[in-house]
Structure 1
């Protein structure tokens, strides 16, 4: 390696090391916005039928997953979201799994029991209005939302949410207060 190549390589390494944690590269298919964008108001209910909105999560980084029990890819990815919530969930981060099931909370509770999902709270929009309001072109659709309630980015389709690159990416967003 020539002295010039070595200098360029070392410069690149030093530059990468000096970047903030929030600069962690987005996993494949995760579309990150240049500037966080305001989200439209959506409403849904918890398992007890109590009304909820995204405003109730202000101050937290939220991973909003719009899904349904009848969606094959959704069923496959839900356990990975559960493991992500177990790993990172707390005062600074929450996975909000928002079901579009018209059959309501019983269908979601049954699905959670069948798939051993224990760390996610059931949230339901039986009207499926949230899906349309958020511009979902299909399910699953997942939005990463900052502490101010603005969309950082989204992923259309399933993902392995507990994969190391995904966990690192989300950790960086949590750390980017």
Structure 2
């Protein structure tokens, strides 16, 4: 447990250092990467996949209600969705809670999440297929469904710098370019 906490602190520290040095707030790949087909359930229990968001820039956040850093960053993701959510952009918060949809809905009510839709993969297959080895994990996915970059660890998604970065990426994606 101690090693996990130390690793998480190192990730958070490296994100803060990157921001201070003017590096991208989400580590970007040299070129977009293909993603495996993944599927998960929406709040009604219907199966959805990343194809449902083709044509939109997606911030896919993989999290769980039992993950303390995840719980702390959820309100900031909710604010980003409220401010930037549109036909061009969406925050997709994908819970990997094995207890399913009800526990996520209860958590959303508990901390007043109003702008994020409920998505759950209670099998954990999506995280495995995406090679996510720590929580929270956030993938920036372009309009073609390719991964532009990923951030492992919590961050302040609603910071002015992050909002500006996401707006710039949305604009670039809508013009057909890659970030």
Output the TM-score relative to the length of structure 2.
0.83
Return the offset for 1:143: 0.2
Q: Which SS does the other structure have where 2:44 is aligned? A: coil
Residue 130, structure 1, aligned to residue 126, structure 2: yes
Distance 2:104 2:81 in 1: 17
Distance 2:129 2:71 in 1: 23
Q: What is residue 115 of structure 1 aligned with on the other side?
A: 111
Residue 90, structure 1, aligned to residue 92, structure 2: no
Q: What is residue 74 of structure 1 aligned with on the other side?
A: 70
Q: What is residue 20 of structure 1 aligned with on the other side?
A: none
Q: Which SS does the other structure have where 1:138 is aligned? A: coil
Q: What is residue 19 of structure 1 aligned with on the other side?
A: none
Taking only aligned residues, the RMSD between alpha carbons, in angstroms, comes to 1.0
Distance 2:155 2:133 in 1: 16
Distance 1:157 1:50 in 2: 29
Residue 163, structure 1, aligned to residue 159, structure 2: yes
Counterpart contact for 1:143–1:151, Cα < 8 Å:
yes
Return the offset for 1:31: 1.3
Return the offset for 1:45: 0.4
Q: What is residue 26 of structure 1 aligned with on the other side?
A: 24
Structure 1 unaligned spans of 5+: 1-23
Output the TM-score relative to the length of structure 1.
0.84
Distance 1:136 1:58 in 2: 21
Residue 36, structure 1, aligned to residue 32, structure 2: yes
Q: What is residue 105 of structure 1 aligned with on the other side?
A: 101
Residues 88-128 of structure 1, C-alpha deviations (whole Å, 9 max, x = no match): 00100000000001111100000000111000000000001
1:141 to 137, 141, 144: 137
Distance 1:116 1:25 in 2: 32
Distance 1:159 1:79 in 2: 11
- The 4+ residue runs of structure 1 with deviation greater than 6 A are none
Distance 1:83 1:76 in 2: 13
